[in-house]
């Protein structure tokens, strides 16, 4: 194991969103690539807004995406506890060091960090108040993605609230020191905070970690970065919708990073092998759900039969699709496998396969009108029923031969029998390949559906 230590430090103040997942992913990938340690630390210092529910969402989402942490809640480690709400004694110690060094002072009941430099009063018309400005030397940040960035930190800032709770900037830095974090990989929205953090590291006499500020994910429509309220922003939503987690990981890895060539669909082991901070872009990326959906489809298509069936069944169970009674296991499996090459995602399955499991399937009126308006579909259906009564149902090919033989005898084509029979047995004009559908449904079900359709037509 290398000495590289990275951390993902979410605060459980809302559902886990895609931007956080991407930040976690880049940290995780970097740790795995370098053989380093991936630490999970929970930043729950804002007692007002934290909740256990959100905390569990974070754990679930990380696990679902396959991002296992080496140190953190539930795992332990040499630098715990890993929830900031349990680290108060550590913070007190560090705060005292700052006070003793003359780098912190009390004002209005809060503790402030003291910058070094000459002071003067100035009116800030953005905040509409007079503030004390400090003529401080610029803080230099050497960012692994952005290069050298200079920013002047020119106002003392609160590090412990008047209610006694330390603020983010302080605990974030203390924990990074205490947990020996070597690389801070986080969103670019923190770049402006980094000068505060660097000053704190220096005040503590601690080595400044390497920073890597990754580009933000912008919302798909409209201005600004993606926020929790945006459509498609929540990881749990993809989990609920039966997305393949590996597809989401693959998609996310490509938002702001690329392997340096044209490859896009890659197993995670390959992404780990190729990932490096030097390959991370500097510009923000707009979220594109169509591309994600496409990636997901590619993964669905590539799933091995047993794996696909297991995932599909889990989805059906979770969404209580068979509330009226579970179908035969073997039949369900056949239906699922028949549908796999045709769907874009697991979530399409219930609607796509519904008619396989009920005799009360609706006949699409539009499709019926269209199909029944040309040629002599009723006669075709009667002819087909006649043939199907004795046809060999043991394989798709056998059924296909039977239908083709019939068509040839009547001087017609396969297509003349397809539309109407598909309509009769499924009520629609889309679905898996016809002969496979017949085979899976079985002779009796097909025949009775055709008869019922004929009687109603």
Binding residues among 73-132 for RNA as defined by CB under 7 A: 107-110, 124-127
SS (H, E, C) 96-164: HHHHHCCCEEEECCEEEECCCCEEEEEEECCCCEEEEEEECCCEEEEECCCEEEEECCCCCEEEECCCC
Structure tokens at 324: 């009226």
> Three-state DSSP class for 248?
helix
177: left (phi over 0), alpha (psi -120 to 50) or beta: alpha
Contacts (CB under 7 A) with RNA, residues 143-182 = 146-147, 149-152, 157-158, 161-163, 165, 167-169
Question: For residues 229 and 291, which CB has a smaller minimum distance to RNA in the complex?
Answer: 291
Contacts with RNA by CB under 7 A: the residue count is 81
| Angle CA 352–432–238, to nearest 5 | 40
For the beta sheet containing 110-113, the strands, ordered from the edge strand earlier in sequence to the opposite edge, are 104-107, 110-113, 157-160
Question: For residues 404 and 452, which CB has a smaller minimum distance to RNA in the complex?
Answer: 404
Task: Give per-residue burial for 280-297: e unless 16+ CB within 10 Å, then b.
Answer: beeebbebeeeebbbbbb
Contacts (CB under 7 A) with RNA, residues 46-75 = 46, 49
Residue 228 as a binder of RNA (CB under 7 A): the answer is: no
In the bound complex, what is the minimum distance in angstroms from residue 322's beta carbon to RNA? 23
Residue 264 as a binder of RNA (CB under 7 A): the answer is: yes
Give the separation between CA 445 and CA 343, rounded to whole angstroms.
Answer: 24
In the bound complex, what is the minimum distance in angstroms from residue 32's beta carbon to RNA? 21
Residue keyed to tokens 């029998």: 417
In the bound complex, what is the minimum distance in angstroms from residue 392's beta carbon to RNA? 14
> Which of these ranges, 5-13, 51-59, 88-96, 97-105, lies near RNA under the rule CB under 7 A?
5-13
Residue 228 bears catalytic tag: yes
Residue from 24, 212, 254, 385 that binds RNA (CB under 7 A)? 254
Catalytic pick from 180, 202, 219, 228?
A: 228
Contacts (CB under 7 A) with RNA, residues 16-45 = 43, 45
Give the separation between CA 257 and CA 259, rounded to whole angstroms.
Answer: 7
In the bound complex, what is the minimum distance in angstroms from residue 328's beta carbon to RNA? 23
**Measuring CA to CA, which residue among 19, 29, 8 is closest to residue 273?**
29
Task: Give per-residue burial for 362-376: e unless 16+ CB within 10 Å, then b.
Answer: eebeebbeebeeeee
Residue 286 as a binder of RNA (CB under 7 A): the answer is: yes
Give the separation between CA 114 and CA 155, rounded to whole angstroms.
Answer: 8
In the bound complex, what is the minimum distance in angstroms from residue 117's beta carbon to RNA? 16
Q: Fill in the per-residue mask, 290 to 329: x = in contact with RNA (CB under 7 A), - = not in contact.
A: xx--x--xx--x----------------------------
Residue 344 as a binder of RNA (CB under 7 A): the answer is: yes
Question: For residues 283 and 320, which CB has a smaller minimum distance to RNA in the complex?
Answer: 283
Contacts (CB under 7 A) with RNA, residues 192-211 = 192-193
Question: For residues 245 and 256, which CB has a smaller minimum distance to RNA in the complex?
Answer: 256
The beta strands (E) that lie in 183-340 are given as 183-187, 210-214, 217-218, 285-286
Question: For residues 322 and 401, which CB has a smaller minimum distance to RNA in the complex?
Answer: 401
Contacts (CB under 7 A) with RNA, residues 388-407 = 396, 400
Catalytic residues: 228
């Amino acid at each position: 194991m290398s000495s590289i230590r990275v951390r993902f430090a979410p605060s459980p103040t809302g559902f886990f969103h895609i931007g956080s997942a991407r930040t976690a992913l880049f940290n995780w990938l970097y740790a795995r690539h370098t053989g380093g340690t991936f630490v999970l630390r929970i930043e729950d210092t804002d007692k007002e807004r934290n909740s256990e529910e959100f905390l569990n969402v974070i754990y679930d989402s990380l696990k679902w995406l396959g991002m296992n942490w080496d140190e953190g809640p539930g795992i332990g480690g040499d630098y715990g506890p890993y929830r900031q709400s349990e680290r108060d004694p550590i913070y007190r110690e560090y705060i005292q060091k700052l006070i003793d060094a003359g780098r912190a002072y009390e004002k209005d009941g809060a503790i402030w960090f003291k910058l070094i430099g000459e002071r003067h009063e100035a009116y800030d018309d953005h905040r509409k108040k007079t503030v004390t400005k400090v003529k401080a030397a610029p803080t230099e940040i050497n960012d692994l993605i952005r290069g050298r960035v200079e920013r002047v930190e020119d106002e003392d800032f609160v590090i412990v609230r008047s209610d006694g709770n330390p603020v983010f900037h302080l605990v974030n830095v203390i924990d990074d020191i205490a947990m020996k974090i070597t690389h801070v990989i986080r969103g670019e929205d923190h770049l402006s905070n980094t000068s505060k953090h660097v000053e704190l590291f220096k005040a503590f006499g601690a080595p400044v970690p390497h920073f890597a500020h990754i580009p933000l994910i912008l919302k798909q429509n409209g201005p600004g970065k993606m926020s929790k309220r945006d459509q498609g922003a929540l990881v749990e939503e993809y989990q609920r919708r039966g997305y393949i987690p590996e597809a989401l990981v693959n998609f996310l890895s490509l938002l702001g990073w690329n392997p340096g060539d044209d490859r896009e669909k890659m197993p995670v082991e390959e992404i780990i092998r190729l990932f490096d901070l030097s390959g991370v872009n500097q510009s923000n990326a707009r979220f594109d759900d169509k591309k994600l959906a496409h990636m997901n489809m590619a993964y669905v298509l590539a799933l091995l039969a047993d794996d696909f069936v297991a995932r599909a069944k889990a989805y059906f169970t979770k969404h209580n699709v068979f509330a009226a009674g579970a179908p035969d296991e073997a039949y369900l499996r056949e239906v699922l496998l028949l549908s796999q090459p045709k769907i874009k995602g697991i979530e399409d399955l219930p609607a796509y396969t519904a008619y396989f499991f009920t005799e009360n399937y609706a006949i699409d009126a539009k499709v019926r009108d269209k199909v029944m308006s040309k040629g002599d579909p009723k006669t075709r259906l009667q002819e087909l029923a006649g043939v199907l009564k004795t046809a060999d149902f043991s394989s798709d090919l056998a059924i296909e031969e039977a239908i083709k033989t019939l068509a040839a005898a009547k001087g017609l084509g396969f297509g003349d029998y397809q539309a109407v029979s598909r309509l009769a047995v499924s009520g629609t004009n889309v679905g898996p390949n016809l002969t496979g559908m017949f085979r899976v449904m079985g002779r009796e079900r097909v025949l009775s559906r055709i008869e019922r359709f004929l009687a109603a037509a």
